[in-house]
């Protein structure tokens, strides 16, 4: 699955002008911008989102009844399902409910004697008594009783006698379920076309909602073959994992319908099933195999919005066939864009579902960030078609390997279709740096969880976090680098070949990689497993310290808050086997391994003209610190000969310095000094690293006297960048390179937000031109998010209503998203309060977008307190609507509280936790605790740093 939406990590800028009361200045708020800039960020949680502690097993009274256990007993194994489903796209005239009816026959084998059948079923009503027949010669025992165990989501069938080991049985059920708009299981999505409401029936099964569509053994290791049949209104199209092999018009219960029968699937897990009935249009590739089709609303297909996805899918598929040395396992690959979808995308085998913004592209109106998001999410989901779908992890505790892997190779896949983008480098900003911020908390957790710790659906949902995705991707990238790509892919290929159509645990991959290491004679200081255990079984990562005077090199668990207490024990004492790529000035040296806590490496001693730089290209998952002399030489090199330092490492120096300062390992002024050379920097990655880190300063200080001098300093630094892009593009054009385009947006955003008049005038003019002629938007797609946000912040009801109107009528989902985010930039409280109310009305803001909209509003310094009041007042409702989802709920809690930095706010937060303990926090339970931990740390940080930061900015701004 790909993450649903992205919340800005650069939200701090929101506060820039408003906080200081300089209301007249146009502000380019970054709320929107970040959605814009993509970096495929929408895939990832923000730096401050969830880090989960090992979830605890339920505290309710223990029961030994099998139906009170969250895991299926090991008594039955499904082999084959025949499923018929009939979604009704019109509400029932008497009840007003949208429903589906269905029947399912599952053939299973008894592998342990039992008189119980437990099969997952949730929110389904049985319309007939289930029946059981034997496939062998011994007749099936008759059914004694049947009931629904609601809490653990089972249909329980108690038999008169025992099932016989080795025999096969067939269980038949008939049922009705609601086709509700809850974005889970079999659900409905709606949109308006030519003034008419259209309904789509679609699915999202991962992780535990296949049981909402039909009774099934809903665990990933319970693989089976599925024969699917859909009944649907004449004129609609039915899709599923397999190819349709027959589509016949017929009559059922006096209703005219079409019956579409799908080819039997391969042996697969229930969470990868998909059923869709729609009125969509599609485009497809030529005669090549496999068949590739892109489905979407007809208007979207007709205006060419599916073309880009179709263009890139073929090349990416072929890339993975080569990478895995395995032909695409299915005859077709359908991809479909849905108006309502909770995640970013879902890798259902052969029928991948997407949010519209993750699949649909428009040459005129989509930004390069939108384009990057589409290419990377497609690559992510296609990567899963083998890794995850063909070979599946046995249980959800290993989710990190599935998602971490796809999050790593999505860059490789996208790079294949867009080789000019240098997209592989961006993993450092998007994943490595981002997850460092979370994994440096004492409340982080290891990649790997114990199987028995992950039981309930909300525990499973909580695993879809930044650690699984971004840390998983980061350590796999490191592994691939130190093994070499050739060895890594060799091991990967034998792993897939070995385990196809079955299930694994993560060490199976290590074993196959080890075989490749042994076969190729690759030189490693330890086995793959010994090295990786350190990264997988213990949380966190080291800071490696190099003393260039003594040659001493050492490692220590890096904690953002040095006062925090690590309660989680580690069998490895928080020491890692660290591969270190490094160089002395421009000379790259032999990589070394740090296998102990401390070592002396004489080659790391330097003389007065030399500097050492370690973790070249940030392929290693660790931070680096040096002796003060080496830091000074590096800062000097940035000022005088920055091209001697690779671009990625310029970003690293900034990000490491700021975080080492936060952890009180180095002085905060040393971190601030890393930004001084930026006045001569034009590359995106270092700028982005600096802005990301300065955002925290904005969050903490934009309501204080630090704000003015900070603005003056940042404005001074960005001015040359703004002028650079003025010369390059005159703002009538976009820069050529992909990351240059991102930095062009940075230049505009920050120049405007620090009040540079040339910038604010530009932006004001563009928006006014658009308001004067709504049918001809003159604003370049890349710049729209920033421009919209600035204009709405500076404007009032008129600008807001104009943008709201444009939002509602936007023909392209990503354009609507830019406007939706920009609407949160308003600075008048009544506009923000009204907007908050809209988030509770699905006719105004779709459910899939509600939490991200609330977070956008909270990120605005004016909206922050309004949102906090709103969330508290509406907690019960918000919880019931969104509490169960995988991604958005923890994001909501973190997003609303990220600015908290006073004792008063901390008390309010604790009060909120206590007041709502009865309702609960669902998948945001740990996010509440993290918010409290973060607020506590913020209070301390502000107290310690405010004076010195104020002085530094004041001095730095004076030298204007
Ligand atoms: C299932 O049964 C419950 C309880 O009788 C009822 O409230 C619900 O509407 C039924 N669902 C459907 C889809 O018929
Ligand atoms: C399942 O579908 C396949 C065709 O894909 C068909 O050959 C087979 O007979 C079906 N099995 C059953 C039990 O209907
Ligand atoms: C898709 O590919 C075609 C043929 O190469 C090209 O003309 C078209 O511009 C591409 N469309 C998009 C949106 O990339
Ligand atoms: C690719 O797979 C085939 C068949 O499994 C195998 O014979 C061949 O050696 C593999 N190629 C590489 C480069 O590993
Ligand atoms: Zn995924």
Q: Is the pLDDT of residue 216 over 80?
A: yes
Q: Kindly give the number of the ligand 4 atom that is closest to the alpha carbon of 497.
A: 5
Contact yes or no for 469/407 (Cβ under 8 A): yes
Please give the helix or strand (H or E) that residue 392 lies within, else none. strand 392-393
- DSSP for residue 723: H
pLDDT in tens, 845-873: 998 899 899 999 999 999 999 999 999 99
Q: Summarize the confidence of residues 529-549 as an average pLDDT.
A: 98
**Best mutation site among 324, 325, 486, 498 for ligand 4 pocket (most ligand atoms within 8 Å of CB):** 325
Helix (H, G, I), strand (E, B) or coil at 545: strand
pLDDT in tens, 735-785: 999 999 999 999 999 999 999 999 999 999 999 999 999 999 999 999 999
Rounded to the nearest angstrom, the distance between the alpha carbon of 532 and the centre of ligand 5 is: 21
**Residue 171, Cβ density class (10 Å: 0-12 exposed, 13-18 middle, ≥19 buried):** buried
The residue from 48, 381, 799, 815 that is catalytic is: 381
CA distance 260 to 244: 7
Contact yes or no for 879/34 (Cβ under 8 A): no
Rounded to the nearest angstrom, the distance between the alpha carbon of 784 and the centre of ligand 5 is: 29
What's the whole-number average pLDDT of the chain? 91
Q: Summarize the confidence of residues 828-847 as an average pLDDT.
A: 94
pLDDT at 58: 46
Higher pLDDT, 929 or 823: 823
Answer whether 493 contacts ligand 4 (Cβ < 6 A).
yes
Higher pLDDT, 63 or 412: 412
Using a 6 Å CB cutoff, which residues line ligand 2? Answer: 82, 227, 263-264
Closest C-alpha to 821, from 278, 243, 235, 32: 32
Q: Summarize the confidence of residues 484-488 as an average pLDDT.
A: 97
Residue 2's pLDDT band, with cuts at 50, 70 and 90, is confident
Binding residues: 380, 384, 403
Which residue's CA lies nearest to atom 1 of ligand 1? 125
Two structure tokens written together for 774: 């709504």
Q: Kindly give the number of the ligand 1 atom that is closest to the alpha carbon of 97.
A: 13
Contact yes or no for 548/627 (Cβ under 8 A): yes
Which residue's CA lies nearest to atom 9 of ligand 4? 325
Residue 943's pLDDT band, with cuts at 50, 70 and 90, is very high
- Give 695-707 as a DSSP string: HHHHHHHTTSTTH
CA distance 335 to 282: 9
pLDDT at 30: 27
Instruction: Give whole-number Cα distances, 35 to 99, 257, 284, 343, 823, in Å.
Output: 35, 42, 29, 15, 13
Which residue's CA lies nearest to atom 1 of ligand 3? 311
Q: Summarize the confidence of residues 671-680 as an average pLDDT.
A: 97
Phi/psi of residue 644, each to 5°?
-70, -15
pTM, to two decimals: 0.93
Q: Kindly give the number of the ligand 2 atom that is closest to the alpha carbon of 80.
A: 13
Rounded to the nearest angstrom, the distance between the alpha carbon of 497 and the centre of ligand 4 is: 9
User: What residue spans of 773-897 are helical by DSSP H?
Assistant: 784-794, 797-809, 813-822, 829-838, 847-859, 863-873, 875-882, 888-897
Q: Give 434's contacts (C-beta < 8 A, 6+ positions apart).
A: 9, 44, 46, 47, 466, 470
Ligand nearest to the CA of 242: 2
Answer whether 303 contacts ligand 3 (Cβ < 6 A).
no
Q: Kindly give the number of the ligand 1 atom that is closest to the alpha carbon of 95.
A: 9
Which residue's CA lies nearest to atom 10 of ligand 1? 125
Phi/psi of residue 848, each to 5°?
-60, -20
Binding residues for Zn(2+): 380, 384, 403
CA distance 483 to 475: 12
pLDDT in tens, 44-65: 333 322 333 333 444 455 578 9
Using a 6 Å CB cutoff, which residues line ligand 1? Answer: 97, 99, 125, 176-178
pLDDT at 496: 98
Rounded to the nearest angstrom, the distance between the alpha carbon of 491 and the centre of ligand 4 is: 12
Residue 930's pLDDT band, with cuts at 50, 70 and 90, is confident
Rounded to the nearest angstrom, the distance between the alpha carbon of 548 and the centre of ligand 4 is: 47
Positive or negative torsion for Cα 918, 919, 923, 925: negative
Q: Summarize the confidence of residues 554-573 as an average pLDDT.
A: 94
Contact yes or no for 954/675 (Cβ under 8 A): no
Two structure tokens written together for 772: 């004067």
Two structure tokens written together for 182: 């809850």
Answer whether 311 contacts ligand 3 (Cβ < 6 A).
yes
Answer whether 364 contacts ligand 3 (Cβ < 6 A).
no
Two structure tokens written together for 866: 């309004």
Answer whether 495 contacts ligand 3 (Cβ < 6 A).
no
Residue 11's pLDDT band, with cuts at 50, 70 and 90, is very low
Ligand nearest to the CA of 323: 4
Which residue's CA lies nearest to atom 5 of ligand 1? 125
pLDDT at 63: 73
**Best mutation site among 133, 264, 350 for ligand 2 pocket (most ligand atoms within 8 Å of CB):** 264
Q: Which chain residues have CB less than 5 Å from ligand 5, an ion? A: 1, 403, 406
Ligand nearest to the CA of 245: 2
Instruction: Give whole-number Cα distances, 545 to 33, 96, 185, 534, 953, in Å.
Output: 36, 66, 50, 19, 28
Percent of the chain with pLDDT over 70: 93
Contact yes or no for 516/485 (Cβ under 8 A): no
Helix (H, G, I), strand (E, B) or coil at 582: strand
Which residue's CA lies nearest to atom 3 of ligand 1? 125
Answer whether 497 contacts ligand 4 (Cβ < 6 A).
yes
CA distance 764 to 866: 27
Rounded to the nearest angstrom, the distance between the alpha carbon of 325 and the centre of ligand 4 is: 6
Q: Summarize the confidence of residues 826-835 as an average pLDDT.
A: 97
Rounded to the nearest angstrom, the distance between the alpha carbon of 346 and the centre of ligand 5 is: 7
Ligand nearest to the CA of 410: 5
Q: Kindly give the number of the ligand 1 atom that is closest to the alpha carbon of 99.
A: 13
Which residue's CA lies nearest to atom 8 of ligand 2? 264
Contact yes or no for 386/413 (Cβ under 8 A): no
Rounded to the nearest angstrom, the distance between the alpha carbon of 413 and the centre of ligand 4 is: 20
Answer whether 321 contacts ligand 3 (Cβ < 6 A).
no
Q: Give 689's contacts (C-beta < 8 A, 6+ positions apart).
A: 429, 433, 650, 651, 652, 654, 655
Residue 287's pLDDT band, with cuts at 50, 70 and 90, is confident
Which residue's CA lies nearest to atom 12 of ligand 4? 325
**Best mutation site among 307, 367, 378, 812 for ligand 3 pocket (most ligand atoms within 8 Å of CB):** 307
pLDDT in tens, 241-261: 999 999 999 999 999 999 999
Ligand nearest to the CA of 176: 1
**Residue 599, Cβ density class (10 Å: 0-12 exposed, 13-18 middle, ≥19 buried):** middle
Rounded to the nearest angstrom, the distance between the alpha carbon of 284 and the centre of ligand 5 is: 24
Helix (H, G, I), strand (E, B) or coil at 315: helix
Ligand nearest to the CA of 382: 5
CA distance 430 to 473: 10
Q: Is the pLDDT of residue 446 over 90?
A: yes
Closest C-alpha to 714, from 957, 899, 429: 957
Q: β-pairing, 225-233 with 76-87?
A: parallel
Residue 236's pLDDT band, with cuts at 50, 70 and 90, is very high
Rounded to the nearest angstrom, the distance between the alpha carbon of 549 and the centre of ligand 2 is: 73
Residue 889's pLDDT band, with cuts at 50, 70 and 90, is confident
Can 193 be counted among the known catalytic residues? no
């Amino acid at each position: 699955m790909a993450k649903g939406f992205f919340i800005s990590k650069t939200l701090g800028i929101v506060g820039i002008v408003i906080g200081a009361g300089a209301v007249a200045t146009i502000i380019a708020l970054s709320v929107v911008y970040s959605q814009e800039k993509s970096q495929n960020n929408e895939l990832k949680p923000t730096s401050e989102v969830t880090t989960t502690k090992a979830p605890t097993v339920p505290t309710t009274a223990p029961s030994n009844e099998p139906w009170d256990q969250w895991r299926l007993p090991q008594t039955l194994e499904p082999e084959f399902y025949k499923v018929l489903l009939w979604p009704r796209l019109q509400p029932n005239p008497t009840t007003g409910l949208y429903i589906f009816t269905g029947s399912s026959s599952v053939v299973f084998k008894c592998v342990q004697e039992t008189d119980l059948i437990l099969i997952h079923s949730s929110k389904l009503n049985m319309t007939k008594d289930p029946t059981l027949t034997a496939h062998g010669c011994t007749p099936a025992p008759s059914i004694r009783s049947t009931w629904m165990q609601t809490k653990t989501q089972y249909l329980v069938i108690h038999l008169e006698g025992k099932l016989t080991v080795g025999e096969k049985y067939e269980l038949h059920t008939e049922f009705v379920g609601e086709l509700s708009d809850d974005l889970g299981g079999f659900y409905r999505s709606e949109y308006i076309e030519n003034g008419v409401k259209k309904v789509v029936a679609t699915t999202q099964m991962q992780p535990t909602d296949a049981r909402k569509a039909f009774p099934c053994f809903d665990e990933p290791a319970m693989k089976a073959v599925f024969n699917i049949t859909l009944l649907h209104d004449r004129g609609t199209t039915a899709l599923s994992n397999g190819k349709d092999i027959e589509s016949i018009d017929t009559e059922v219960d006096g209703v005219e319908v079409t019956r579409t029968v799908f080819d039997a699937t391969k042996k697969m897990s229930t969470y990868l099933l998909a059923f869709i009935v729609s009125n969509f249009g599609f485009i497809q590739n030529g005669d090549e195999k496999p068949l590739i089709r892109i489905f979407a609303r007809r208007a979207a297909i007709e205006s060419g919005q599916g073309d880009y996805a179709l263009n890139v899918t073929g090349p990416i598929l072929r890339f993975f066939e080569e990478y895995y040395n395995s032909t695409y396992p299915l005859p077709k690959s359908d991809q479909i864009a849905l108006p309502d979808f909770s995640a970013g995308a879902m890798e259902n085998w052969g029928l991948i579902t997407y949010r519209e913004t993750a699949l649909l592209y428009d040459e005129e109106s989509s930004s390069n960030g939108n384009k990057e998001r589409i290419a990377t999410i497609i690559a992510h989901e296609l990567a899963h078609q083998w890794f995850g779908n063909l070979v599946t992890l046995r249980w959800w505790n290993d989710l990190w390997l599935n998602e971490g892997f796809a999050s790593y190779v999505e860059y490789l896949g996208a790079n294949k279709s867009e080789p000019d983008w240098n997209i592989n480098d961006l993993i450092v900003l998007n994943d490595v740096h981002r997850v460092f911020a979370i994994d440096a908390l004492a409340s982080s957790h290891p990649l790997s969880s114990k199987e028995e710790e992950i039981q309930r659906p909300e525990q499973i949902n909580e695993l879809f976090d930044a650690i699984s995705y971004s840390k998983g991707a980061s350590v796999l990238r490191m592994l691939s680098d130190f093994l070499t790509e050739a060895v890594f892919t060799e091991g990967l290929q034998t792993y897939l070949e070995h385990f196809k159509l079955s299930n694994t645990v993560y060490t199976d991959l290590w074993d196959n990689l080890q075989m490749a290491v042994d076969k190729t004679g690759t030189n490693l200081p330890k086995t793959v497993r010994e090295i990786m255990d350190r990264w997988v079984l213990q949380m966190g990562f080291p800071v490696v310290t190099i003393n260039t005077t003594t040659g001493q090199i050492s490692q220590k668990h890096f904690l953002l808050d040095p006062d925090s207490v690590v309660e989680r024990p580690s069998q490895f004492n928080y020491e890692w086997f660290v591969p270190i790529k490094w160089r002395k000035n421009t000379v790259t040296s032999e990589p070394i391994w740090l296998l102990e806590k401390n070592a002396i490496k004489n080659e790391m001693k330097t003389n007065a003209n030399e500097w050492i730089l370690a973790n070249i290209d940030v392929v290693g998952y660790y931070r680096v610190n040096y002796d003060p002399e080496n830091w000074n030489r590096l800062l000097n090199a940035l000022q005088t000969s920055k091209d001697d330092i690779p671009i990625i490492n310029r970003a690293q120096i900034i990000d490491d310095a700021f975080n080492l300062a936060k952890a009180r390992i180095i002085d905060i002024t040393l971190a601030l000094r890393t930004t001084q050379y930026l006045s001569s920097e034009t590359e995106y990655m270092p700028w982005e690293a600096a802005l990301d880190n300065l955002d925290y300063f904005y969050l903490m200080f934009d309501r204080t006297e630090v704000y003015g001098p900070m603005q003056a300093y940042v404005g001074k630094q960005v001015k040359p960048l703004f002028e650079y892009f003025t010369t390059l593009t005159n703002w009538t054009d976009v820069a050529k390179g992909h990351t240059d385009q991102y930095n062009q947006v940075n230049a505009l955003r920050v120049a405007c937000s620090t009040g540079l008049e040339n910038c604010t005038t530009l932006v004001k003019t563009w928006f006014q031109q658009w308001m004067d002629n709504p049918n001809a938007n003159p604003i370049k797609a890349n710049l729209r998010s920033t421009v919209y946000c600035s204009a709405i912040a500076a404007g009032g009801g008129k600008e807001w209503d104009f943008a709201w109107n444009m939002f509602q009528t936007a023909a392209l989902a990503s354009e609507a998203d830019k406007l939706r985010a920009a609407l949160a930039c308003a600075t008048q409280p009544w506009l923000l309060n009204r907007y908050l109310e809209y988030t509770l009305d699905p006719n105004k803001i779709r459910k899939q977008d509600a939490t991200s909209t609330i977070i956008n509003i909270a990120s605005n310094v004016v909206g922050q307190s309004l949102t906090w009041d709103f969330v508290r007042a509406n907690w019960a409702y918000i919880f019931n609507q969104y509490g169960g989802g995988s991604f958005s709920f923890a994001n909501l809690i973190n997003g609303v509280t990220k600015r908290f930095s006073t004792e008063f706010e901390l008390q309010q937060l604790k009060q909120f936790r206590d007041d709502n303990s009865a309702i609960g926090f669902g998948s945001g339970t740990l996010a509440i605790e993290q918010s409290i931990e973060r607020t506590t740390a913020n209070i301390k940080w502000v107290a310690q740093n405010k004076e010195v930061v104020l002085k530094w900015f004041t001095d730095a701004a004076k030298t204007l």
